[in-house]
Amino acid sequence: MLGIVDDPITFFGAIAVVAVFIVIILIWLKKENKIKNEMVAALSEEVRNDLKDNQVQDYDYQRNIWTQKACIGSVKDKGSKVALKLLWYNTVIQNATLYQFQYADVTMKKADFESRGLKQGSIVKMRIDPNTAKAELVW
82, 136 in Cβ contact below 8 A? no
Average pLDDT of span 53-70: 91
The pTM assigned to this predicted structure is: 0.79
- Could you write out the three-class secondary structure of 74-113? EEEECCCEEEEEEEEECCCCCCCCCCCEEEEEEEEEHHHH
**φ, ψ for residue 39, nearest 5 deg:** -65, -45
Report the percent of the chain where pLDDT is more than 70: 96
Residue 1 in this model has a pLDDT that exceeds 70: no
pLDDT digits (tens, 9 = 90+) for 4-35: 666 778 888 888 999 999 999 999 889 888 98
CA–CA gap between residue 23 and residue 29 (Å, rounded): 10
The set of long-range contacts for 94-100, using a CB threshold of 8 Å and a minimum separation of 24, is: none
Question: Taking Cα atoms as reference points, which of 40, 35, 28, 34 lies closest to residue 101?
Answer: 40
Residue 82 in this model has a pLDDT that exceeds 70: yes
Query: What is the band of 3 on the pLDDT scale with cuts at 50, 70, 90?
Result: low
CA–CA gap between residue 71 and residue 134 (Å, rounded): 16
Residue 56 in this model has a pLDDT that exceeds 70: yes
pLDDT digits (tens, 9 = 90+) for 28-50: 889 888 989 999 999 999 999 99
